[in-house]
Amino acid sequence: MKRFSKYSLLVAALVLGFASCVKDLDTVPLDKDEITSATVYDNPASYYQVLAKVYAGLAVSGQQGPAGMADISGIDEGFSTYLRQYWCAQELPTDEAVIAWNDGTLRDYHDMDWTPSGEFITAMYNRIYYQISLCNEFIRESSDAKLDERGIAGADKTNIQGYRAEARFMRALSYYHAMDMFGNVPFVTEEDAVGAFFPEQIQRADLFTYIESEIKEVEPMLPAPKANEYGRADQAACWSLLAKLYLNSKVYMGSEKNTECVTYCDKVIAAGYSLAPNYQHNFLADNNTSPEVIFPVTFDGTYTKTWGGMTFIIHAAVGGSVMKPADFGVDGGWGGTRVTKSFVHKFYPDLTGPLQVSPVYIPKKSGYPVLYVPGSYQGWDPAKASTVIASAKADGKYEGYLYFADANTQFKFADGPSWDVNYGDDGANGTLDRNGANIVAADAGYYKINVDLPALTYTYLKTDWGIIGSATANGWDADQNMTFDPATGIWTAVLDLKAGEFKFRANDGWDVNYGDDGANGTLEQNGANIPIANDGSYTITLKLGVPDYTYTVVRASYDRRALFFTQDQNLDISNLFAFNDGFAVTKFKNVTSTGTNGSDMTFVDTDFAMFRLADVYLMYAEAVLRGGGGTISKALDLINELRTRAYTDESGNIAQADLSLEFILDERAREMYWEGTRRTDLIRFGKFSGGAYLWEWKGNAAAGAATDSRFDLFPIPATDIGANPNLIQNTGY
């Protein structure tokens, strides 16, 4: 074995040589899209980008957009966004929303029979804690000590200190959601490093104190209202959150803090925000320009893409075969969300059926013979199909209505679609002459035109339309005028009607009048009176043009916040999974206030207002009524400001006597529906669980059923109970 020795040296050298390769094991990421935490914070610009992720955590599902590199796992990525889960948790268990989808345990939300294993509740919880972890990481890494250590000073340091205050606000916001939905929850701050440990469970009341102190501490460090970049938190966001915290303090920690609520509402009200003149502007693709939005979650069809968030809220609300996705600025509906009848009653208290009370007109399969009416008003085109009159009996006697926008409009009749056989009136004597002179209508207006071709006679009569009858304010004595829209060719009137009857007539006389024989939705000269069964306000439309003449009578609300789509939608919900059961909602759109579509038809530009001024007005009024001080007259003024906007005039304003807590709850529904506050509001009023207030399918019963009070809190998800032995499940689960 001796000869071995010199070679064993060689072998040893070889092995040592290879062993130097052991250092290869110390790898660092090669991908330029990845930075290690050891170096990321050396660059002051990184802090801004990490802060952007803290905010983006409310909007997107991951780093790729619309999907890919998800933030949280265990659930479909599209479902996983913060806002989508927040919306579902706050809206689907209430009277404001039902959803047609059968995904996992989604239905449990509306049935109010969820369990700790529900994946959507779990996703909400995970999102909240993901957000808290993101904030903790940033807060931990942006302490003054760490900045000094990295040599970051001067303006960079000042900026980063501001970002840190924003991150603390964002953490307080998510802890607020955790407290509101889950009660006693795990408590983790920047003091806890990332790693394997079991967080302690904090009591809801203690968490309340923590959130309150955090917001108050960061408030002076944040920019003044509207002084920060759009999309980022400022002092008004802090005040709004504090107001919410105090308004619900009885639920969270057992005692009322309405005085504090009034104080912070006052601060927001004085901060320079104003109501957007048009209510719906807050929910459109350019709502970033609304003067009312205090703190938004931002979306963009090009740069902030997600299958959750507003993409979900807008697409899910569109469905059925009549709603046109294009009207909502999207390429298709997902046929999901509608409202319950109980909610519709906030706008139409006695509604029992469809909004349209008139018979539904079913179009004839084939049209009637037509006579073309070319003229100066339509470019002298004898082939234009939209400017014709028709013969309903095919007997050569034609009738129809045409609109002449200008005075001295000239026209002729053509047995078109060509000039081959055309008629005018030489001598303006009421008889038609082949190739005769142009006929002239002296005044602009809406003309009834009749032609008897066998007899070669014609008449034309300018008409203005109105409604008369026992259902109207003036009874059978005088007309209520209608207004004409040349773009649609439809006469409209919005009127308060009482139970009774009415007819349409022209020119305040009975020469030309229409009623509905056979109640089939088509109108006949001297036809039967049209019945109105219930008092209420109605929108009445009259469509003449070419026979058949039709009309609709639809329940109307002067309250412009009632943004429903009702055609083909049933008021009652017999099947939760059928989109046609329940009125659809047209509140949110990917269309701007000027009517142009967002930048993309799939992913939307519309932002979500987490806090807006109207909410603060309502909170102020409620806190005053709950004894929080302030003044009742200011409360009334604020509420009437909202109602004046809703009604476009003061007709909907209320008196001080009407301003009750009950009224506030309903008014919150009318103003704030689908904005993620309903569950919290109902709980504050004691109307969420239990039997005090029932709506369709609450408690998994068609008419609604009482539910257990445990549902006022969501359960801590089973996954976390399993992962963290320190947690005690909420009572009853």
Partner 1 sequence: MKRDSFSVLGKLFLPVLTLLFIGQMAYAQQSITGMVTDAQSGEALIGASVSLKSDPTKGTITGVDGSFRFSASQGQVLIFSYVGYITQEVTAGLQTTLNVALTPATETISGVVVIGYGTQKKKDATGSVTAISSKDFNRGSIVSPQQLLIGRASGVNITTGGGAPGEGATIRIRGGSSMSASNDPLIVVDGIPLDNEGVAGMRNPLNAINPNDIESFTILKDASATAIYGSRASNGVIIITTKKGAAGSKMKITYDGKASYSMVGKTIDVLNAEEYKAFYQELYAGNETALKVLGTSDTEWQKEILSNSFGHDHSLALTGSAGTMPYRASLGYSDMNGILKTSSMERWTGALSLDPVFLDNHLKVSINAKGMRENNRFASRGAIGSAIGFDPTQPVYTDGGKYGGYFEWLQPNGDPITIATQNPLAQLMMRDDRAAINRLMGNVQVDYKFHFLPELRANLNVATDLSNSQGFISVPDSARQNYDIDGDGNPIGGIDAEYKQQKKNELVDFYLNYVKEFGKSRLDVMGGYSWQHFYRKGNYFEANAARTITNSDTDYESESYLVSFFGRVNYSLMDKYLLTFTLRNDGSSRFSPDNRWGLFPSAAIAWKIKEESFLKDVDAVSDLKLRLGYGVTGQQNITSGDYPYLARYTFSEITAQYQFGNHFVTTLRPEGYDANLKWEETATYNIGLDYGFLKNRILGSVEYYYRETKDLINTIPVPAGTNLTNQILTNVGNLVNKGVEFSILGRIFSTEELFWEVGYNITFNKNEITKLTATDDPNYKGVFVGGIGGGVGNTIQIHSVGSPAYSFYVYEQVFDKDGKPIEGLYVDRNGDGKISADDKYLYHNPAPAAFMGFNSRLNYKNWDFSFAGRVNLGNYVYNNVNSGNGVNAYMYNTAGYATNVVQDALYTGWVNPKYWSDYYVQDASFLRLDNVSLGYQFKNLASKKLDLYLSLSVQNAFVVTKYTGLDPEVYSGIDGNIYPRPRIFMLGLKLDY
93 to 122, contacts with partner 1 by CB under 8 A? Answer: 101-106, 113, 115, 117-119
Give the closest residue to 373 by CA, choosing from 407, 403, 332: 403
Q: Is 303 in the site for partner 1 (CB under 8 A)?
A: yes
Q: Residue 21 CB, nearest distance to partner 1 (Å)?
A: 5
Q: What is the H or E stretch that residue 450 is in?
A: strand 445-452
Give the closest residue to 217 by CA, choosing from 266, 165, 174: 165
Q: What is the b/e burial string over 498-534, where b = at least 16 CB atoms within 10 angstroms of the residue's CB?
A: eebbbbbbbbeeeeebbbbeeeebbbbeebebbbbee
Whose Cβ is closer to partner 1: residue 27's or residue 366's?
27
Q: Contact with partner 1 (CB under 8 A): which of 153, 270, 326, 692?
A: 326
What residue has token string 């350019």?
Answer: 286
Q: Contact with partner 1 (CB under 8 A): which of 356, 529, 602, 648?
A: 602
Q: Is 24 in the site for partner 1 (CB under 8 A)?
A: yes
Tokens of 704: 């609604």
Residue range at the interface with partner 1 (CB under 8 A); choices 20-28, 261-269, 552-560, 666-674: 20-28
Between residue 230 and residue 289, which ones bind partner 1 under the rule CB under 8 A?
Answer: 230-232
Q: Residue 408 CB, nearest distance to partner 1 (Å)?
A: 38
Whose Cβ is closer to partner 1: residue 38's or residue 655's?
38
CA distances to 116, 121, 199, 643 from 729, in Å: 9, 14, 14, 43
Binding mask 331-370 for partner 1 (x = CB under 8 A): xxxxx-----------------------------------
Binding mask 412-451 for partner 1 (x = CB under 8 A): ----------------------------------------
Q: Write out 533-600 in H/E/C secondary structure.
A: CCCEEEEEEEECCCCCCEEEEEECCCCCCCCEECCCCECCCCCCCCCCECCEECCCCCECCCCCECCC
The Cα 219–Cα 160 span in angstroms is 15
Residue range at the interface with partner 1 (CB under 8 A); choices 184-192, 261-269, 393-401, 424-432: 184-192
Q: Is 459 in the site for partner 1 (CB under 8 A)?
A: no
Per the DSSP assignment, residues forming a β-bridge with 398 are: 451
Binding mask 543-572 for partner 1 (x = CB under 8 A): -------------------------x----
Whose Cβ is closer to partner 1: residue 78's or residue 690's?
78
Q: Is 53 in the site for partner 1 (CB under 8 A)?
A: yes
Q: Is 728 in the site for partner 1 (CB under 8 A)?
A: no
User: E-strand spans in 314-441?
Assistant: 337-338, 370-372, 388-390, 397-404, 409-411, 413-414, 422-424, 433-434, 439-441
Q: Residue 68 CB, nearest distance to partner 1 (Å)?
A: 7
Q: Is 510 in the site for partner 1 (CB under 8 A)?
A: no
Q: Residue 201 CB, nearest distance to partner 1 (Å)?
A: 11
538 close to 555: Cβ distance less than 8 angstroms: yes
Q: Contact with partner 1 (CB under 8 A): which of 81, 90, 126, 472?
A: 126
Whose Cβ is closer to partner 1: residue 163's or residue 693's?
163
The Cα 432–Cα 459 span in angstroms is 10
Residue range at the interface with partner 1 (CB under 8 A); choices 49-57, 409-417, 547-555, 617-625: 49-57
Q: Is 40 in the site for partner 1 (CB under 8 A)?
A: yes
The Cα 471–Cα 496 span in angstroms is 9
Q: Provide the 10 A C-beta neighbour count for residue 255.
A: 8
Between residue 137 and residue 156, which ones bind partner 1 under the rule CB under 8 A?
Answer: 137
Q: Is 125 in the site for partner 1 (CB under 8 A)?
A: yes
Length of the chain equals: 733
What's at 537, amino acid-wise?
A: S
Q: Is 191 in the site for partner 1 (CB under 8 A)?
A: no
Q: Contact with partner 1 (CB under 8 A): which of 2, 5, 36, 365?
A: 36
Q: Is 600 in the site for partner 1 (CB under 8 A)?
A: yes
- HSE-CB at 281 with a 13 A cutoff on CA atoms is 18
Whose Cβ is closer to partner 1: residue 27's or residue 158's?
27
What residue has token string 């933030």?
Answer: 71
Judged by DSSP in three states, 294 sits in strand
Q: Residue 181 CB, nearest distance to partner 1 (Å)?
A: 13
Q: Residue 591 CB, nearest distance to partner 1 (Å)?
A: 9
112 close to 89: Cβ distance less than 8 angstroms: no
Whose Cβ is closer to partner 1: residue 54's or residue 432's?
54
**What sign does the dihedral 577-582-583-585 (CA atoms) show?**
negative
Tokens of 556: 């109307």
Q: Residue 33 CB, nearest distance to partner 1 (Å)?
A: 5
Q: Is 11 in the site for partner 1 (CB under 8 A)?
A: yes
Cα angle vertex 568, ends 567, 569, to 5°?
90
Q: Is 720 in the site for partner 1 (CB under 8 A)?
A: yes
Q: Residue 370 CB, nearest distance to partner 1 (Å)?
A: 24
500 close to 532: Cβ distance less than 8 angstroms: yes
The terminus-to-terminus CA distance of the chain in angstroms comes to 75
Q: Is 79 in the site for partner 1 (CB under 8 A)?
A: yes
Between residue 576 and residue 595, which ones bind partner 1 under the rule CB under 8 A?
Answer: 577-580
The Cα 55–Cα 82 span in angstroms is 11
99 close to 106: Cβ distance less than 8 angstroms: yes
Whose Cβ is closer to partner 1: residue 492's or residue 700's?
700
Residue range at the interface with partner 1 (CB under 8 A); choices 423-431, 597-605, 685-693, 706-714: 597-605
The Cα 695–Cα 677 span in angstroms is 17
Q: Provide the 10 A C-beta neighbour count for residue 101.
A: 15
Whose Cβ is closer to partner 1: residue 200's or residue 508's?
200
Q: What is the H or E stretch that residue 297 is in?
A: strand 293-297
Q: Is 132 in the site for partner 1 (CB under 8 A)?
A: yes
Whose Cβ is closer to partner 1: residue 50's or residue 512's?
50
